[in-house]
Structure 1
Amino acid sequence: MLFLEALGLLAAHILSWVAVCHALLTKRDPRSALGWTVTALLLPVLGPLLYVLFGISRAQSRAEKIMRQRVAQQPEYAYPACPASPSELVPEHIVRMAHLGRGLTDQPLCGGNALSPLRNGDEAYPAMLDAIAQARDHVFLVTYIFNAGQTGTAFIEALTAAAARGVDVRVLVDGIGTLYSWRKPWKKLAAQGIKTALFLPPKLFPLNLSINLRNHRKVLICDDTGFTGGMNIADDNLQSGRKSCVQDMHFRCLGPIVNHLRRAFLLNWGFCTGEYTPLPPGSSQARGESRCRIVMDGPGNDADMLNDLFCGVINAARRTVRIMTPYFLPTHDLMASLRSAGQRGVDVRVTLPARNNLPYVHWATFRLLPTLLDAGVRVWHQPPPFAHTKLLAVDGYYSQIGSANLDARSLRLNFELNMEVFDPAFHDLLAAHMDDAVNRSREVTLADLAGQSLPVRLRNAACWIFSPYL
């Protein structure tokens, strides 16, 4: 018996040291490596198990590697051609922002696009359903959450009708995102033979415990009309006649950038199914004045692409930075960029929800705010309903929309899709939306934070410790 106990103890310690060695060799952030080392050594059995569940990034950028090979072998997999950007006098620091995105993504800006903001599900869902009804060739949908309810039923009916008339319908839902609804409406599509897939669903056979890696992207392509932004498919996004709802914003995209959204979907689809089908023919017809670029980020890339992009753009800002995000736990690099911008006189404004659907994230954010306010960054709390909107607008010219929040989960763990937009008119639309929210919001001050009780400050700090995993 003593021999078996000693053997079990030895095995537990070996597992701990295996986890420690893996963390030391693979983690790029020393704080993350240290945290997992301490966890594995102090909790000989539980620690390695937690590391397997939450610490290992199994999902490498396999799709990108395969696609690069396809580009070399088959030209039709290269980035679709775009019209030349219109000649205009662009400020030098805005040009540097464009060069930054090009260097990080290896993609040129795509000109000739028209983007239309759609506020909440009341505007977005009818537009999306109409586009599905009009589609004649293909409908590609990837979403993090596809909940049951009035909205889910409407999408199932529209997708089923599209498939019945011969449209190539494909639906991709995140494996963890499916857990948000007890009923799974997308299963009705699979039951009818419509192509559906799950992104890294947790399961025991075959073993897949990558519960910390999630596809947070939201994209719909219906022939030559695209949609992207931060909105899931759920009744929560409907404002009319509901006491509890979520504010959000989605965007209709027309023009050559839709070809890039289509390519992004096929990368996702190939990653999950192994089926890398040729790109359908797309339109290169100019539909507007916006120059855009798709930014796909996720674990396995050599760099934290979105984090580097946010930092670079904010570092280049000269006059204004407006941010709206539901979850605000910036990385150390991003905190430094925001502080630097505030200290050099840039008008940095951050709008957050006054009431969050994840209270522990809200509490953790309070721990970071004094550092930003000291540097001249201004923060507002937007009154309910909870705002899930994710926007960035800089210097009257540059904007960014998409699925990524400003927290470690989005910037380090999730698979995200954002879009850069270079267009003064589009910038002004987003800036007006954020300024309107600020006018209805309460500014957070250092006096407010200093007035918090000791138990509240300790609660906030305790949540902040776990901010890399919230």
Structure 2
Amino acid sequence: MFNVLISYWPLYWPHILLGLSLVVGAIAAVHAAMTKDEVRAALGWVGVIMLSPIVGALVYAIAGVNRMRRSSLRSQRAGMSDIELYHLSHYDASPDEVRTVSGRNFIAMKRLGDVVSRCNLTSGNSLTVLQSGDIAYAAMLKAIREAQRSVLLETYIFDNDRIGRQFVAALGDAVKRGVQVRVLVDAVGARYSTPSIVGVLRHVNVRVEVFNGKLIMGLRLPYANLRTHRKMLIIDGALAFTGGMNIREAFTTEFAQEHAAQDTHFQLTGPVVTDLFHTASEDWRFTTDELLEGDAWAISPPKQAAGEGLLVRAVPSGPDKSLETNHKIMMGAFSVAEKHIRIMSPYFLPDREFISALVTAARRGVMVDIVVPAQNNLVLVDMAMTAQFDQLLKDGCRIWRSKGAFNHSKLMCVDDVWAYAGSSNLDPRSLRLNFEIDLEIYDRPTAEAIAKRIDKHVATGTLVNLADLKRRPFFRRLIERIVWLGSPYL
């Protein structure tokens, strides 16, 4: 058959190419129509496939079939939810506790979180905000050096640089002391520096693996979209660190000096550590089939009694049974806001539903302030963000460009009594494709501290003006809109 096609090719190549284009395009279009959950996504892909013969089908095969992979991940991870087996149920927060610390309207937020998240809201927690890489890395390294039983580290980026090698040394020393150490790095994030830190860790006998890392010809397409973007460090089942901070020297003044990027991380104790540990241990088990159990991995009893301390919920989300959990919780918070919504995000590219929720809050009289970097480290993302600003500005939301060093923090505060922070960016990748971990915090002092952190950038930032946006050259605005069309894949 192949020889026959070759013999006819010189004379009938246009007809053969047309037939091939129709067959391949039809298969791809049917697949998009049958597997996409959102009508806009389905229509978009069918349009690309039909308007770009063969090329469109190829692009779809590379970038558009993540739905199948997500289904596969869900089925593979379906039996791995051990959180409920270890959850300290007597620490579960009551509606009365929520009413006392955050007000009556946030009881609805507790109910929402109980339904959509795999982790319950618990009392008995302590939380410290770590306001820079210098502070966060120092605390994390100290904890690793003092570990007695176990260290479980999961991160998106772990660079082979000067700060990364400090972590390698601390982890290697812990192994020498007899501490059980496991490190999980995302397959894409592990390649942000060359050579990868994975080999360096293995050289000092640290057990390290890469998440979703079985590559074909050096690539993991289309599955490279499905990443662990989580940042978690759990020490001895008692102390945890999480937030937005990867392991990179660019976030320390020690090495980057005045050019150091900013970020926010959190140190925690209490029942929430149990949920963070089992989220990270699920990812490790998914990757390696090893179940972390035994005395080394036992959870230490919380020091504070039930009903004391802070009310905190761990919020895992990702393309498995926790799909869009982060999105649902944030949308719920916007619906109960009465006074002020503050958001800080380095990559602000939410979907239409998210924008509508913010706009609706602004129309109800809620002040909505959104802070993004003046200088973004991802130029295309910044262009796409700018193209979307008008949808918020025309309905009363305020957007501020934060001056100074690039800020990678992902922070949210509602009415100065409820806060949400962690690894989730407000873009399609974090809200649908990545595995993320966030914290939902019901505590006025913590929420006020995060609000003040955001307000500092508002005070020194530049307010984005809708009229100024519209006055910019047409060609520039057109390019931004074209980039915005591809924002789900940035």
Q: Give the TM-score taking structure 1 as reference length.
A: 0.93
The answer to whether residue 283 in structure 2 is matched with residue 268 in structure 1 is yes
Decide which moves more: 213-222 or 282-291.
Answer: 282-291
After superposition, what is the alpha-carbon deviation per residue over 1:131-154, rounded to whole angstroms, capped at 9, x for unaligned?
Answer: 001111110111111111110110
In 2, the alpha carbon distance for the partners of 1:429 and 1:63 equals 40
Q: Is the 8 A contact 1:61 1:298 kept in 2?
A: no
Output the amino acid matched with 2:318. Answer: G
In 2, the alpha carbon distance for the partners of 1:84 and 1:295 equals 15
Other-structure match for 2:3: none
SS of the residue 2:91 aligns to: coil
The answer to whether residue 215 in structure 2 is matched with residue 218 in structure 1 is no
SS of the residue 2:123 aligns to: strand
Other-structure match for 1:66: 79
After superposition, what is the alpha-carbon deviation per residue over 1:147-195, rounded to whole angstroms, capped at 9, x for unaligned?
Answer: 1111011000000000111111011111111221112123222234421
SS of the residue 1:328 aligns to: coil
The answer to whether residue 252 in structure 2 is matched with residue 238 in structure 1 is yes
After superposition, what is the alpha-carbon deviation per residue over 1:195-249, rounded to whole angstroms, capped at 9, x for unaligned?
Answer: 1111112621798421211111100111111000000000110124524321101
Identity of aligned residues (%): 35
Other-structure match for 2:135: 123
For structure 1, which runs of at least 5 residues remain unmatched after alignment? none
One of 148, 161, 164 as aligned partner of 1:152:
164
| Number of equivalent positions | 465
In 2, the alpha carbon distance for the partners of 1:384 and 1:290 equals 33
**Cα displacement (A) at 1:37:** 1.5
One of 287, 310, 319 as aligned partner of 2:339:
319
Residues 302 and 427 of structure 1, relative CA distance in 2, 3 Å threshold: closer
The answer to whether residue 51 in structure 2 is matched with residue 38 in structure 1 is no
Residues 148 and 106 of structure 1, relative CA distance in 2, 3 Å threshold: closer
Residues 365 and 9 of structure 1, relative CA distance in 2, 3 Å threshold: same
In 2, the alpha carbon distance for the partners of 1:10 and 1:203 equals 33
Asked which structure has the greater CA Rg, the reply is 2
Other-structure match for 1:347: 367
Other-structure match for 1:228: 242
Q: Is the 8 A contact 1:348 1:378 kept in 2?
A: yes
Residues 272 and 18 of structure 1, relative CA distance in 2, 3 Å threshold: farther
Other-structure match for 1:377: 397
Decide which moves more: 43-52 or 165-174.
Answer: 43-52
**Cα displacement (A) at 1:78:** 4.0
Other-structure match for 1:104: 116
**Cα displacement (A) at 1:293:** 1.2
In 2, the alpha carbon distance for the partners of 1:302 and 1:237 equals 30
Q: Is the 8 A contact 2:124 2:270 kept in 1?
A: yes
**Cα displacement (A) at 1:81:** 3.7
After superposition, what is the alpha-carbon deviation per residue over 1:37-89, rounded to whole angstroms, capped at 9, x for unaligned?
Answer: 22223334333332233222214224641124x67xxx7x3434452548543
In 2, the alpha carbon distance for the partners of 1:78 and 1:226 equals 16
Residues 276 and 16 of structure 1, relative CA distance in 2, 3 Å threshold: farther
SS of the residue 2:440 aligns to: strand
**Larger fraction in helix:** 2
For structure 2, which runs of at least 5 residues remain unmatched after alignment? 1-5
After superposition, what is the alpha-carbon deviation per residue over 1:398-423, rounded to whole angstroms, capped at 9, x for unaligned?
Answer: 11111000111110111111111111
Residues 56 and 418 of structure 1, relative CA distance in 2, 3 Å threshold: same
In 2, the alpha carbon distance for the partners of 1:238 and 1:426 equals 24
In 2, the alpha carbon distance for the partners of 1:162 and 1:106 equals 32
**Cα displacement (A) at 1:310:** 1.3
Output the amino acid matched with 1:364. Answer: A
Q: Which runs of 4+ in 1 moved over 4 A?
A: 2-12, 205-208
Other-structure match for 2:316: 296
In 1, the alpha carbon distance for the partners of 2:391 and 2:197 equals 45
After superposition, what is the alpha-carbon deviation per residue over 1:394-449, rounded to whole angstroms, capped at 9, x for unaligned?
Answer: 11211111100011111011111111111111101101111111111111122321
**Cα displacement (A) at 1:26:** 1.6
SS of the residue 1:65 aligns to: helix
Output the amino acid matched with 1:281. Answer: A
